Structure 1
């Protein structure tokens, strides 16, 4: 009897060892102590129901952790997790439907503070210097006259000023002490980039219809404009607008076909990449000809490029878990993919 038991446990041990060894390439699902040296994905979550989340993937792909803010703090972020920005050691998580910004340590994700006043449908955060941040606000998305940028005092996490702007302010980039704001148009359509210096709008730059994303390369700002969709009444073509940041003037406009509506511009070295009609296209800034070269197939929700890799999120059916897909841009082949939360809308590198 003892011999039979011994043989049974030996056999069971071999099976267990084989089962474990077959999973050697599977990322470990647990919450690490820190979230540096990795990729953070903001997941919007169900619209008007439930909470958004944040997913962490380590740079070596060995660790994946879901819903890290709730796990660290025992509470939900709220509805909808629109975006996130960094300044110094903090992450500023914009939760649009809950009308707040949740502040957490970017490396531990322990809660630091929150801002619940001075915001109205907040969209994006950007840090300007050690003590100041800016937040784009739609106000009432059906009212084109109440949009503004909140100025944050990061020393005490309060809104110190508001700057009225044209309707539909969205994504922002910083350059030479100025903030460039793309006015996509909220529930409508707009065609402006605002230039903010200090607490005032220094100028506005007219670009193509529905500017949805921007990148800076050298002394140039590239603005990708989706164009007016067909349901807007008069459909207009998407465009890529190049702005000379030394003059603040448009230096070149490249136009797509009328029915082409690109989005999610990112950059890797001198190559611009963006979504268009179920494909990722690449265009070199030294010689721009649209639409460029199609390199990867897929209907992606957002794109970010870094160090020869493309990070792309797939929102699937916008009701179930999405995914983060990582491609090697030297081969355009999929390197790895990971599950995320519902509607993965933002990709951030926490190095």
Structure 2
């Protein structure tokens, strides 16, 4: 009996080795895109109104960039002012704000899967909720009356809408709750709304500070927020500084808020490292970091100075390697570049991309 058991175990082990070996061969033929591991997409925003937005792809194996990826593979231009891109379930969701649409592509062969435009006015970000449901934040036709559109991902149609606030921007998912930042759009707001994805209803509205915009979730599932503050060009005394705040997701209260020492210097463009321990953000036109134990501006550490860029625009974190991918946009007429850095700010390399690189997706 013992001999038979050993023999059966040997057969099972041999079969497992064969299956793993076969899987490795079939998945390593270049046809399967592994987000982050194989490479990442670069969203080139382009100039508002010029319809010169584009998509690039960085291949880690060859250390090369392919530009105009969308147009080359679909035979048509991407549109006007791409705000963001999210990879979800082997599909890339590209939000093209001034063209009022969401382009869906395959990450396997870059072919067009769908174009969602009916019901969208000024979309900004996409967030996958489940296999058949996604959210898209939308500023609305006036840039103020914003909402989150609920998308059926099986039919690629909008099924419903959630009224949110002014200029709804980034969204993050914590368990079954979505946190959405109301950046103000063409107006003003100071809130983050919390949405129960099972009912698609707002369960709480949290006041965090003037014009919150970007979000990140740390290892403790706290939600971090950066806000642009308020600039009053008529009455300067009414202006408020940009800020960094932390929301405790257990009770949905603001646990910490750090104001910048003066207006117009950040923090903004918030990201977080792969371990959820280090905040990475734009500050004073360069890039700084702070631990999630941060308590004041004195805990900010500049790792990449502003003089390393012609003009730092957007950036993201390639979490497969913890590399900072910074977009340098000299203007909105000529091609920009991406610059790769270690998390400590050590420069790696740079590549030419499209006009106005504002972020990455993988």
Give the TM-score category using the shorter length: 0.7 to 0.9
Correspondence 1:254-265 to 2 at 5 A: 254-259=258-263, 260-265=265-270
2:314 is the alignment partner of 1:302: yes
Counterparts in 2 of 1:1-351, with a 5 A limit? 36=34, 37-60=38-61, 62-142=63-143, 144=144, 146-198=145-197, 199-217=200-218, 218-231=220-233, 233=235, 234-259=238-263, 260-268=265-273, 269=275, 270-290=277-297, 292-298=300-306, 299-305=311-317, 306=319, 307-330=321-344, 332-349=345-362
Q: 2-side partners of 1:232 and 1:336: how far apart?
A: 43
How big is the shift at 1:230?
4.5
Contact 2:52–2:355 (8 Å) recurs in 1: no
Aligned residue for 2:312, secondary structure, equals coil
TM-score by length of 2: 0.83
Q: 1:79 to 1:115 in 2, by over 3 A?
A: same
How far did residue 328 of structure 1 move?
1.4
3-state SS of paired residue (1:186) = coil
1:109-139 CA-partner distances (Å, limit 9, x unpaired): 1011111201111111110011100011111
**Aligned residues of 2:40 and 2:58 also touching (Cα < 8 A):** yes
User: Structure 2: where are the runs of 5+ without partners?
Assistant: 1-29
Contact 1:235-1:258 at 8 Å conserved across structures: no
| Other structure's SS at 2:297 match | coil
Q: Secondary structure at the match of 1:341?
A: coil
Calculate the aligned-residue CA RMSD, in Å: 1.8
Aligned to 1:4: none
Task: Provide the TM-score with structure 1 as the length reference.
Answer: 0.85
**185-194 or 291-300: bigger deviation:** 291-300
What secondary structure does 1:301 align onto? strand
Checking the alignment, whether the CA contact within 8 Å between 2:316 and 2:360 is kept in structure 1 is: yes
Q: Give structure 1 regions of 4+ aligned residues with deviation exceeding 4 angstroms.
A: 32-36
